[in-house]
Structure 1
Amino acid sequence: MVYILQVDFSIEGPFSEEMAHQFSDLAKSINKEPGFLWKIWTENEFSKEAGGIYASETENDAQNYLTMHSKRLASIGINEVNAKIFTINETLTKITHGPIY
């Protein structure tokens, strides 16, 4: 089973290519997290929000990442994080070409 962690939070920036440049080392480090499968980075410059959709091997991996990530965000002044953990309906996701293994 694959678990999805959905995270979003308010942020003043950076966005787009500036975000990609500033957070490329962070992106590389996420690949090393236990149980990590993939991440889709999300951003909305107009509403000043960012976040991501993370896929993990276990619910525990997703929860541990959320705990660590929330602390990392708090260290840069982002204290309000919206987050939910879901399971994937693999049958329907395959029909709609979702990126699952």
Structure 2
Amino acid sequence: MAYILQVDFPMNGPFGEEMAETFAGLAESINQEEGFIWKVWTENPETKEAGGIYLFETRETAKKYIDMHMNRLAGFGIIDVRSRIFAVNDQLTSITGGPLQR
């Protein structure tokens, strides 16, 4: 069973192409995290929010990642971070075409 990690936080930018350029190195480093499968990056310039939806192999690796990520975000001055971990129902996700692997 895989686990979704949902994260969002207030952010003043950058967004769009500038966000992609600014955080490309971070994206590459996330690929190296233990148990990481994929991430969908989220952003909303109108409400000044960003975050992501991650898929991890286990609840433990998702928890380990968010603990590390909260510290990293605090280093950027971002402290109002919301996160949740959910188990993925593999059978229903397969029916609706959700990716469960890289």
Aligned residue identity for 2:34: P
Structure 2 residue aligned with 1:2: 2
Which whole-Å CA distance do the structure 2 matches of 1:38 and 1:5 have between them?
10
1:99 shift after superposition: 1.1
Aligned residue identity for 2:21: H
TM-score by length of 2: 0.97
Cα root mean square deviation, aligned: 0.6
Structure 2 residue aligned with 1:30: 30
- Identical columns (%): 57
Which whole-Å CA distance do the structure 2 matches of 1:64 and 1:49 have between them?
23
Which whole-Å CA distance do the structure 1 matches of 2:54 and 2:42 have between them?
11
Question: Where in structure 1 are there 5+ consecutive unaligned residues?
Answer: none
Task: State the aligned residue count.
Answer: 101
1:4 shift after superposition: 0.6
Question: Where in structure 2 are there 5+ consecutive unaligned residues?
Answer: none
Which whole-Å CA distance do the structure 2 matches of 1:100 and 1:25 have between them?
24
Deviation beyond 2 Å, 4+ runs, structure 1: none
